[in-house]
Homo-oligomer: A and B are copies of this chain.
Amino acid sequence: MIHTIRYGRLFDDFVPGAIYAHPWEVTVDEGMLAFFAASFQDANPTYASRRAARELGLRDRPVHPLLLLNLGLSFSVHDVSEQAIAHLAYMDVRFPNACYPGDTVVAASRVIGTRPVSTGDKGVVHVRTEVSNQDGEVVCSFERKVLVRVGNVSGRAAALPQSPVDERPAAPMPRAPASLLGDLSPPRRAAFPTFWDDFEVGDVYAHEAGRTVSEAEHMQLTTLFRNSHPMHVDERYCQKSSFAKTRVVFGGLVLAWVLSLSSRDTAGNAVWDLGLDDGAHPSGVLAGDTLYAASSVVAKEERGKDAGIVVLRVIGLKNTPARVLLERGADLFTPELGKTAGRVPEKAVEITRTLLVRRRT
């Protein structure tokens, strides 16, 4: 007998309320942190420096939150999106506890809802995914929506265990480890330029930094994070089945690139990522594309004597710096979905980011 085992689900394979415990179980290590830092040059010292992290009351340098989000997205591909047509949205992403190198993480996704699309051949699946460490602490939780075709996956392993169904609403997650929400010891480092005091609502940052994406690094990260979708790593599959007719960069990486490109200008004195929300990928990114970023200050709020909250709308652009588009009068910060005019075809990602940032001392 010839077996061809397939993974992921089509619309009719999803059961509202079901919880899919993803089979990947991986110890996050310093090598994984280095792979992340080798693609995403992030300025937030909490995630880069053991000394800075310990001064904040953490026991070690924590794993970068965007790495955890990438792991959660990737682990869930096996059960949620390996057959998906598109990733539609990121919602309510939180990092309630620090994850440290050496921790072993797993992830599980609960089906929050399913909704057929009016054309009848597709549907939208809404899931909540939680990434947990070996002690059961949630280190990353997020919701996302994916678009899948109707039907059932043929060849899906019969061995699939029955999934528990839990219809209770999830308890709200904290947005940061507790030690970061009180008084902060002053930093000992030299400073990147922007503190909480420097942000003004309505200000726009046209970040200068750009980064060209290479074929090897995006495949390495995709493989390392256990993303099993062939769209990102199997060229022959893509020539037949990808909308781009070639490998497409995993969206979680695009998001990490764009946030890192903005980080020297906005997150160099940040303490923690309090969350991401309202995120989408209006277009795909290919190896060879150069990514740029822009940020708009949406809100700010005092938070104790040492830090404050800044809410930024961050967008990522392909092959054109933000300044060039702003000079042309492009409407960068309105969400692409729902725009009736003024679409920005260069936009590859858009998301709302909430940061805890130090005040100027």
Contacts and interface: CB of A to CB of B under 8 A. Distances in A.
Interface of A: 1-7, 20-27, 29-35, 37-41, 43, 45, 48-52, 61, 78, 101-102, 104, 106, 108, 134, 157-161, 189-195, 198, 200, 202-212, 214-217, 219-221, 223-224, 226, 228, 230, 233-237, 247, 264-265, 268, 288, 290, 319-321, 323, 326, 360
8 contacts: A2-B326, A4-B205, A4-B206, A41-B223, A50-B134, A159-B191, A210-B233, A211-B223
Contacts of A228: 41, 209, 264
Tell me which of A4, A194, A202, A207 has the highest count of chain B C-beta atoms within 10 A of its own C-beta.
A4
Given A4-B323, A193-B160, A212-B234, A48 B26 contact: yes
Contacts of A290: 234-237
Given A25-B45, A198-B159, A228-B209, A219 B219 contact: no
Given A204-B3, A233-B212, A43 B23 contact: yes
Contacts of A52: 25, 104
Copies in the complex: 3
Contacts of A236: 210, 212, 290, 319-321
Contacts of A106: 189-190
Contacts of A32: 31, 34, 37
Contacts of A45: 25
Contacts of A202: 1
Contacts of A43: 23-24
B27 A50 contact: yes
A214 B216 contact: yes
Contacts of A51: 25, 27, 104, 134
Nearest to A234: B210
Contacts of A198: 159
Given A221-B38, A323-B4, A210 B193 contact: no
Given A50-B104, A237-B210, A200 B1 contact: yes
Contacts of A27: 48-51, 61
